[in-house]
Amino acid sequence: METPRTYLRTFFYSEVENPPGAPNPTWLIEPIVAIPGVENIYDGGKAILFSNHLWRQGFNDAVKGALGRPVIAANTLGLVINSARYRSQHQMHIHVSALSAEFASCLAALDLPAASPQLQWQPSTCTLRYFATTARAWLYAARVDTLDNVSGVAWEGMSGDGWADFIGGAAALTPRTDTAVALASAGDGDGYVVVLAAGAGDVGDHNMLDYDPPSAEAEAQAEAEAEAALLKDTAPPVDASV
């Protein structure tokens, strides 16, 4: 597969920008190409290549402490893209931080078969918490053995009848609008887990990851910088072979 010459922009939310006592570092990583979300990766161009590289680069940077970022252990790391309904901007951006305790527990309870070319999706439900607010989440998880096609795997699950029937029958949710996507290491250390998530309420980075979201001012600044970089294409190149 061709490796794209990818441009990435990373925004770090420091404790100064977060409410005091944020338990884990967090940052955003996004491509400097126009891709609204995983649901759009086959809409044209090379979006699937850029999107897949973004997951791989984000995961590897986090566990290596690249670009001066704090290290997050692979077995606690989570990457999340929010659903189209709840995302703050319609430009693909992945939230990178440690898994929340509730989401980690839900993933640990999964009994996933070994990775195989024929994806095997396992449905489950989970209760996620953000401070005093809880949300019931419907999960659809599959094990993969590489980080080379995370967006393709997510899109395959999102566009299949199994996920649509699961969330449509449970809460009248729709795949293209209500699906968040998460990536984590498999609990048994064998590969990775791609997770589709939707909920009766907001299910996304704030309750799947363990951090306090940035202030509205910090997030607005990050989004403005992302838009400027997208228009000017001034972000530094990143080694796409990592």
Measured between alpha carbons, how far is 168 from 56 in angstroms, rounded to an integer? Answer: 31
Are β-strands 77-81 and 26-31 bridged in parallel, bridged antiparallel, or unpaired?
A: unpaired
Nearest to 238 by CA among 1, 2, 7: 7
Domain ranges of the chain: 8-232
> What are 31-40's pLDDT values in tens digits?
777 788 888 7
pLDDT computed for residue 80 by the predictor: 95
Q: What does CATH list as the number for 8-232? A: 3.30.428
- Quick check: 54 and 146 in contact, CB under 8 A? no
> What is the pLDDT confidence band of residue 41, given thresholds at 50, 70 and 90?
confident
Measured between alpha carbons, how far is 92 from 35 in angstroms, rounded to an integer? Answer: 6
Measured between alpha carbons, how far is 170 from 203 in angstroms, rounded to an integer? Answer: 15
Angle at 146 between CA 1 and CA 29, to 5 degrees: 85
Task: Give the strand order in the sheet containing 192-199.
Answer: 8-13, 26-31, 94-98, 77-81, 180-185, 192-199, 133-144, 122-130
> What are 138-158's pLDDT values in tens digits?
999 999 999 999 999 999 999
User: pLDDT > 70: what percent of the chain?
Assistant: 74
pLDDT computed for residue 92 by the predictor: 82
For residue 8, which phi and psi values (nearest 5 degrees)?
-125, 155
Which residues lie below 8 Å from residue 13, measured CB to CB, with a gap of 6+? 22, 25, 26, 27, 28, 211, 213, 214, 218, 222
Q: Provide the mean pLDDT of the chain.
A: 79
By CB atoms closer than 10 A (0-12, 13-18, 19+), residue 171 is middle
Nearest to 158 by CA among 66, 42, 62, 34: 42
Query: Does residue 67 sit in helix, strand or coil?
Result: helix
The encoded tokens of residue 196 equal 């589709």
pLDDT computed for residue 103 by the predictor: 96
The encoded tokens of residue 119 equal 């994806």
Helix (H) or strand (E) holding 82: none
The encoded tokens of residue 45 equal 């161009």
Q: What is the mean pLDDT of residues 68-93?
A: 85
